[in-house]
């Protein structure tokens, strides 16, 4: 819990003071330092990286769950969102690109910084840090004093609280009224809690962080790269992520069955 509090303090400093996301497009500074703290603690305490989940796992599980299931769920929810907006007469459009550049333009290096590569690397760092902190370190320690599922619920709730900083900053910067920030924050925390619970199940069932890391990173990368836009601009991302989280949780029995098969 002390490691979590320290990482959360670094996160608050980064979000409100340093604002490394305004430099790089991702809150990377506190993630790199936080990951270093988690790794240093695992080694210093004698637990080792293997104990907190950096152990080998089935390549099949990483592909089919980390990538395949995540891609299928996101594709389905993108389709539902697109059809929902179309039924409302919003004339939705599906686009691929980052910060106004198409993937073809990024491949040619027209913006000089290759944002797709940046998003790929930064989201891998982000996913590795958060999975190792909440699932690898926190969940591993919580199961010493409580059942695995209760421990999973606790870490998922704390993971949801971890994301409250963004609505708070939107209110602090005057981008949202207090009521809107509270509503947005409640929804954001709910979605993060559900996804944290699902990724916690991945860690418990596969006994490795790698499935959750790749599922987490792939989800964030896809949200950065693929967008559905309307004439009004925003496409209701909150609705999309909530639906995605609900589908993920609903599919957990399937994942549990596959994990038993792949663990032999």
Helices 210-225 and 178-206 cross at an angle (nearest 10°) of 140
Pairing of β 93-96 and β 226-229: antiparallel
Say what the pLDDT of residue 100 is: 45
pLDDT at position 46: 85
**pLDDT of the residue at 114:** 61
The per-residue pLDDT for 132 is 97
pTM (predicted TM-score): 0.91
Give residue 236's pLDDT: 60
Write the pLDDT tens digit of every residue in 121-130.
899 999 999 9
- Helix (H) or strand (E) holding 242, with range, is helix 237-250
Residue-wise pLDDT tens digits, 182-218: 988 998 999 999 999 999 999 999 999 999 999 999 9
**Average pLDDT by consecutive 10-residue portion of the chain (264 residues)?**
94 95 86 95 89 88 91 91 84 71 48 68 94 96 94 97 94 92 91 96 94 95 83 65 90 91 72
Give me the pLDDT at residue 237, please.
Answer: 65
User: Residue 226 pairs with which residues in a beta bridge?
Assistant: 96
With a CB cutoff of 8 Å and minimum separation 6, the contacts of 32 are 125, 129
């Amino acid at each position: 819990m002390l490691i979590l509090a320290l990482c959360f303090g670094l996160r608050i400093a980064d979000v409100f003071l340093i604002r490394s996301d305004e430099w790089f497009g991702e809150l990377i500074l506190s993630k790199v330092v936080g990951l270093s703290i988690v790794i240093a603690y695992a080694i210093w305490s004698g637990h080792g990286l293997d104990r907190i989940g950096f152990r080998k796992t089935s390549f099949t599980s990483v592909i089919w769950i980390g990538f395949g299931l995540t891609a299928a769920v996101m594709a389905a929810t993108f389709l539902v969102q697109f059809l929902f907006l179309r039924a409302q007469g919003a004339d939705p459009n599906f686009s691929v690109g980052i910060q106004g550049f198409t993937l073809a333009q990024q491949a040619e290096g027209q913006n000089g910084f290759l944002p797709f590569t940046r998003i790929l690397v930064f989201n891998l760092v982000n996913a590795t840090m958060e999975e190792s902190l909440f699932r690898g370190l926190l969940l591993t320690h919580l199961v010493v004093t409580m059942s695995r599922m209760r421990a999973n619920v606790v870490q998922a709730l704390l993971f949801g609280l971890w994301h409250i900083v963004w609505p708070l900053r939107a209110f602090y910067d005057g981008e949202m009224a207090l009521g809107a920030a509270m509503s947005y924050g409640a929804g954001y925390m709910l979605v993060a809690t559900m996804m944290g619970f699902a990724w916690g199940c991945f860690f418990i069932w596969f006994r490795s962080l790698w499935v959750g890391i790749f599922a987490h990173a792939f989800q964030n990368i896809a949200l950065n790269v693929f967008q559905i836009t309307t004439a009004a601009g925003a496409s209701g991302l909150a609705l999309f992520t909530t639906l995605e989280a609900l589908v993920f949780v609903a599919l957990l029995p399937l994942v549990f069955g596959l994990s038993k098969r792949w663990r032999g």
